[in-house]
Amino acid sequence: MAMRLSRSIVGEAEAKAVSRVLLTDGYLGMGNETRLFEQEIAAFLEVDPAQVVTTNSGTAALHLACDAVREISGKGIEKPEILVPSLTFVASFQAITAAGCVPVACDVLEETGTLDLEDAARRITPNTIALMFVDYASNPWHLDDVYAFAREKGLRVIEDAAHAFGCRHHGRRIGSFGDIVCFSFDGIKNITCGEGGCLVSFDPEATRLAADARLLSVENDTEKRFHGGRSWDADVRRQGWRYHMSNIMAAIGRAQLKRFEKEFMPKRTLRASVYAQRLCKVEGVRLFETDLKDFIVPHIQVVRVLDGRKDMLKEALLKEGIPTGLHYKPNHLHTFFGGGAVSLPAVERLYEEIVTLPLHPALSCQDVEEICGVIKRTLA
Ligand SMILES: *Cc1c(COP(=O)(O)O)cnc(C)c1O
């Protein structure tokens, strides 16, 4: 079978869960399964279920987070700004503009690909309301410092933790502390619902806004739906969206969550450690730094290829049937986000160097050895 860069790992358990919804429950929309999934996510993160708001994508969760922060902290500011590292999925940027805010692209640290706080500090204006931190390649690098920085500058924090489900920063699970944390459960993330996501908020006002806004801002509709009813006669006071998670998606997510700690987590960490062992001494390849006090469940395996040899290596890998990816084209280079009007040296250098190698639980450790062998031979 052809080697894949990433893939969904679903089977009998997920199929049974979906059949249960289709054949037994019969209610496909947002109902009991969604309520249970929110409870189980909350138990996993050790937070209150009321803090968890599931959505139909990670992008939707980010949009709702930006919308809530704008509503709470952006009053009287015509174009509220949100600081965001340029090295992220375009979803982070699109979520910010969707909420009527301006994404202010920041540079990243070359050794980790995560937000460079010194660069971010220089980009703060009176219109800055928040910063978005991205756990790039699942790395919650210096997240405590990020929160300290935000507190000092009076900024809200939205974590794009799409890569970081199951990770820990200095012992604490990502999503168990902070301000507003967003996860993605799209097909290839650490767990999947098919498509889906969730937001975990530590500000009750933001949670309420997000929970309502995912159901067209029909007030308290979540509670009604979770008990088999609807808010037929409720008031609507602000913009909302159809962003809720269906019972079908939640059923898949519940099956995935049960498999996470025994199966997905150890498989992902083992494959990443084989990559690290085999590549750490290869000349011309550099791995991103991590903090030994953090626990990383890697969603993607990114390496830096130095000396302008990235394209050559990608071709050599492809010849051996090994696909590679790019995470990501820096967002400040996209036409919609300024087309390179600012220059961000570290992220632009990384853009020349980064290659994503295959990583998913169905990849064998033998496959990883083989990939590393091709890299060694090609760069020797
Ligand atoms: C996957 C991802 C998202 C968006 O999540 P979707 O569920 O695909 O909408 C946002 N940010 C990052 C960094 C991602 O990898």
Euclidean distance between CA atoms 183 and 165, whole angstroms: 7
Mutate which of 88, 160, 199, 329 for ligand 1? The one with the most ligand atoms within 8 Å of its CB, which is 160
pTM above 0.85, yes or no: yes
- Whole-number mean pLDDT of the chain? 97
Å from CA of 185 to ligand 1 middle: 8
Domains defined for the chain, CATH in brackets:
12-254 (3.40.640.10), 260-379 (3.90.1150.10)
E-strand stretches of 71-192: 81-85, 102-106, 128-134, 156-160, 168-169, 172-173, 180-184
Nearest CA to ligand 1 atom 13: 89
Q: Is the CB of 59 under 6 A from ligand 1?
A: yes
- Structure confidence by residue, pLDDT tens digits, 117-126: 999 999 999 9
Decide if pLDDT at 1 tops 80. no
CA of 337 relative to ligand 1 center, distance in Å: 18
How many Cβ atoms from other residues are within 10 Å of residue 15's Cβ? 12
Q: Which two tokens stand for residue 95?
A: 């979520």
List Cβ neighbours of 343 (8 Å cut-off, separation of 6 or more).
none
pLDDT in tens, 157-213: 999 999 999 999 999 999 999 999 999 999 999 999 999 999 999 999 999 999 999
Q: Which helix (H) or strand (E) holds 206?
A: helix 204-213
What three-state secondary structure class fits 104? strand
Residue 160 in contact with ligand 1 by CB distance below 6 A: yes
In angstroms, rounded to a whole number, what is the distance separating the alpha carbons of residues 131 and 124? 10
Contacts of 280 (CB under 8 A, 6+ apart): 287
Quickly state the pLDDT bin for 231 (edges 50, 70, 90). confident
Chain segment 255-284, per-residue pLDDT in tens? 999 999 999 999 999 999 999 999 999 999
134 lines ligand 1 (CB under 6 A): yes
Pocket test for ligand 1, best of 89, 245, 331 (most atoms within 8 A of CB): 89
Which of 163, 183, 185, 186 to probe ligand 1 with, by most ligand atoms within 8 A of CB?
A: 186
DSSP classification of residue 263: I
What pLDDT does residue 207 have? 98
DSSP bridge partners of 53? 199
